[in-house]
Amino acid sequence: MYADEAYWWWIVPSESDYALEWPASVRYTPGAVVLDAPRLIHRSDGTVPYTPPIPLYLTLCRVMGTTPTWSRQMTA
């Protein structure tokens, strides 16, 4: 988790927007570059450097008071 004076953000795997409609107040920005300016405020205990997108998505929906919706049908 990174933060600066205005925002918090997480690194998620590419294509984490597939079939997810992120809440309106959340910005999903593919290809964003993390510069040296933000400071790391939390790092996962594991070796994977990103946040799994589904738990993050569900948590953000809950915090924002929105119902999770899938924009496309999921297939296994």
Domain range annotation of the chain? 1-76
Residue type, 44: S
Judge contact between 11 and 49, C-beta under 8 A: yes
- Contact in structure between 73 and 63 (CB atoms under 8 Å): no
pTM equals 0.54
* CA-closest candidate to residue 7, choices 30, 31, 41: 41
pLDDT, one tens digit per residue, over 15-48 is 777 777 777 777 777 777 666 655 666 666 766 6
The mean pLDDT value of the chain amounts to 73
